[in-house]
Amino acid sequence: MQYQAVVRKFGPAAEAVEIERAALPVLRRDQVRVRLLARSINPSDIITISGAYAGRTTLPFIPGFEAFGVVEACGEDVYGLAPGTRVLPVRGAGGWQEYKHTDPSWCLRVPDGLSDFEAATSYVNPMTAWLMLHKKIGLRPGMRIAVNAAASSIGSILIGLANAVGVEPVAIVRSEESRARLSGSLEAVIVDRADSDLATGLAGRHGLDAVLDCVGGAHASILAAALKPGGHFVHYGLLSGQSIPPSFWSSHPDIAFSFFHLREWVHSEAMENVQRAYAEVAAQIAAKIIATEVREVFPLEKIRLALQSTLPFRTGGKVLLA
C-alpha cells in the first residue's frame, strides 16, 4: 500500500487534492518502480489541478511534475538502469505519491553530489532557467538582460546563471521586501509597485539584449520597449493572471518574441539531449551557482497543510513533500 495525493475534480488545490491509500499496481516488464523521497510543489502543479489544462488532463490523476527518488525495482525487459539509481522520473505528473511506475528512458540520472532536497528542486526551475538563457537567448559575456519577478525562486536562478558568465541583469521586483531578498551582481533593481514605476526605472536603460518575463499583463509592452531591435523577449509565465495585450505585437514588430514551456521542450527533444541538458544543470547546482531555498517540508500525507502553506506562491523558498 502507498499514500497518493489524488485529484478527482478540478478546482482550488487545497480543496481538490485528497490523500488516499492505494495498492501498488503490478510492475510491467518495461517499467521501473521509483520510490519517491522528495517532491516540489510548483505553480504548474496548481494550474493543472485548477483545470486550466483540462483538455490534456484525464481525471482522476496524481499531481506532481517534479519528484526525486531511487529505483527500487526493474521490469524484466529493462536494461541499463539498476535498483539503487537516483533518478528524476519526468514524463508527466504523478510525483505526489510514494511510488511511481514509469518508463526508464524518462528517468534523469541524478548525481550523488546533490542532496535529496537539491535533487527534488533541480528540474522545473533550473532546467527552465538554463534552457532559456543558453538555448533561447544564447547568453554570453557582455549581454544586457532584464529579469522580471527577480526575487522568485527561478529569478534567483536566472541571476546566478547570468552572473556565472559575467552578466549583471536588471532585476525587477514588486516590493521592498523582495528587493531585500535579492542576491548576486545586478546592473540595477527596479521596484515595480505603481503604473509608472517600471517605465521610470527603465528610462535610460534601453538597448537590452533580452527580457525574461513570467508576469505578463500590460507591463510586457514597457519591457519590450527597452529591448534593442532584434532583442529577445522570452515569456514563460503569467504571475499577474493577465495575458499580454494584443497590441503588444503590433507595437513591437522588431523584437524576437517567444514562449518557453519546459514540458514542450522535453517532449520534443531526444532523451539523450534532455539528459545532457540536465547534467549541465546538475553541475551548476553542485557548484552552488544554482541554489533553491527550501522554506518548509511536510510529509506527503499532510498535503493539505503543505498546500495551505504554499498558496499563494510568494518569495521565500519552496515547500517540499518528503
Shared-domain flag, residues 82 and 6: yes
The enclosing domain of 247 has a CATH number of 3.40.50.720
Task: Report the b/e string of 180-192 with b at 16+ CB within 10 A.
Answer: ebbebebeebbbb
Shared-domain flag, residues 80 and 175: no
Q: State the pLDDT at residue 109.
A: 97
The enclosing domain of 30 has a CATH number of 3.90.180.10
CA 8 to centroid of chain Cα atoms: 25
Averaged pLDDT, 169-176: 95
Q: Contact, 213 vs 234, CB < 8 A?
A: yes
Shared-domain flag, residues 116 and 172: no
* pLDDT tens digits, one per residue of 176-191: 999 999 999 999 999 9
Q: How many domains does the chain have?
A: 2
Shared-domain flag, residues 11 and 115: yes
* pLDDT tens digits, one per residue of 216-243: 898 999 999 999 999 999 999 888 778 8
82-91, 244-253, 301-310: which has the minimum mean pLDDT? 244-253
Does residue 169 register a pLDDT over 90? yes
Name the burial class of residue 126, with classes exposed (0-12), middle (13-18) and buried (19+) by CB atoms within 10 angstroms of its CB. Answer: buried
Shared-domain flag, residues 83 and 192: no
Shared-domain flag, residues 234 and 307: no
Beta bridge partners of 173: 191
With respect to residue 22, please indicate whether it lies within any of the assigned structural domains: yes
Tell me the one-letter amino acid at 104: P
With respect to residue 304, please indicate whether it lies within any of the assigned structural domains: yes
Find all residues with CB under 8 Å of 273, minimum gap 6, and list them.
none
Shared-domain flag, residues 141 and 255: yes
Please tell me the distance from the alpha carbon of residue 6 to that of residue 16, in angstroms, as a whole number. Answer: 8
With respect to residue 101, please indicate whether it lies within any of the assigned structural domains: yes
Phi-psi category of 24—alpha, beta or left, where left has phi over 0 and alpha has psi -120 to 50? beta
* pLDDT tens digits, one per residue of 270-292: 999 999 999 999 999 999 999 99
| Domain span including residue 190 | 126-262
Shared-domain flag, residues 178 and 201: yes
Please tell me the distance from the alpha carbon of residue 296 to that of residue 74, in angstroms, as a whole number. Answer: 33
Q: State the pLDDT at residue 249.
A: 85
